[in-house]
Amino acid sequence: MMLNKNNNLYAFSILVKKEIADHIRSWKFIILLAIILLTCIASLYTSLQELKNTAPAPNDPDAAFFFLKIFTTSDGTMPSFHLFVGFLGPLLGICLGFDAVNSEFNGRTLGRILSQPIHRDYFLNAKFIGALIVIGTLFVSLILLTIGAATLLVGFPPTFMECNRLFLFTLLTIVYVAFWLNLSILFSVRFKHTATSALVAIAIWLFFTVFYPIIINIVAKAVQPNPYASEAEIMHYQHFMLTLMRFAPSQLYSDGTNMLLMPSIRSLGPLHMEQLQGAIPSPLPIWESIKVAWSQMVALIACTIVCFAASYYFFMRKEIRC
């Protein structure tokens, strides 16, 4: 029985290896990798330029977090690193997942793999784990390289607190890309043609990045309270708008990264004057920052798991027959 278990693990690792090899050899991944690398280098370069020219003001509570600022600062010409990742990350996830199952189905390799002595779910799990390893390696090395380059440039290492926050930021980014990956894997299980699943996934991504904000604006105009409305009404309106915005996964991600990369942020929603009174403008400890954006992070993880569960369910019931 022990041997059996080892055999299974061995077969699974073979499948994962095959996935990783497929990804890093594929042109779509190489092209997207080049785009991401170029944009990230550009944005990091501009932010380092900006930080070099304008030393942080002494009263800036984030001044102590130089390494976090690299990822959020921009001189206005280029969006900052975390905005870029928020924009291109989904594309990366979609690119790695949209043809995961249906291309193997159409190429009739699915039947061949599944007629080997492996559990059926190994196939799907390997698809997910393989792509996740690729994504994880990409972002971990990207962020480590950035920190390394910045350390060389400024001459002092990041603090422990910064490392913690950057680690969580990396984790959150991976989860965010994994969400899009799982969504596109789900479509690849459901749709027979790779083009359909790619287009549907990209349509959803476009909807949330371009059209959803427009719709939100329209709704905002419609429900906007009178400028002389009571404070409670205005608060209620703002909470309502924030709730609407958080249906977009990109909003969840940017809420989370903002909290992690800008320790001075105290709340993601509106605050009363009374709440701010007497507050010292100092950075929050990491745990407090996490608490503020906790629900957003959990929502993102939950979305990822739901997508994976759905694709698992559909995959297990799929007829292999062509």
Partner 1 sequence: MDNPIIRVRQLTKKYGDFTAVDQLDLDIETGEIFGLLGPNGAGKSTTILMLLGLSEPTSGEIEVCDTDPVRSPIAVKRLVGYLPDNIGFYEGWTALENLVLTAQLNGISYTEAKQRSLSLLEKVSLQDVANKKVGKFSRGMRQRLGLADSLIKDPKVLILDEPTLGLDPMGVKDFTSLILRLSREEKLTVLLSSHQLYQVQQICDRVGLFIKGKLVADGPIQNLATHLFQDKPRHIQLKVHQTDTQRARDILEAMQDVKTIEQQNDQFYIDADEIIVHHLAKKLVEHDINITQLQQRTYGIEDIYAHYFEGGSTNDAK
Site for partner 1 contains 2 (CB under 8 A)? no
Minimum gap (Å) between residue 99 Cβ and partner 1: 13
Site for partner 1 contains 310 (CB under 8 A)? no
x/- site string to partner 1, residues 232 to 271, per CB under 8 A? ----------------------------------------
Residue with tokens 């010409």: 77
- Residue (of 313, 321, 319, 302) closest to 124 by Cα position: 313
Minimum gap (Å) between residue 6 Cβ and partner 1: 8
x/- site string to partner 1, residues 90 to 119, per CB under 8 A? --------------x--xxxxxxxxxxxxx
Nearer to partner 1, 109 or 137 (CB): 109
DSSP state of 210: I
Minimum gap (Å) between residue 12 Cβ and partner 1: 9
Q: What token pair was written down for 135?
A: 């994504």
Site for partner 1 contains 25 (CB under 8 A)? yes
User: How far is the C-alpha of 170 from the C-alpha of 257, rounded, in Å?
Assistant: 9
End-to-end CA distance of the chain: 34
What are the angstrom distances between the C-alpha of 81 and each of 184, 213, 276, 294?
24, 21, 30, 22
Nearer to partner 1, 15 or 172 (CB): 15
User: How far is the C-alpha of 172 from the C-alpha of 290, rounded, in Å?
Assistant: 11
Nearer to partner 1, 10 or 211 (CB): 10
Q: Tell whether the torsion through CA atoms of 315, 320, 321 and 322 is positive or negative.
A: positive
Contact residues toward partner 1 (CB under 8 A) are 7, 10-11, 14-15, 18, 22, 25, 104, 107-119, 319-322
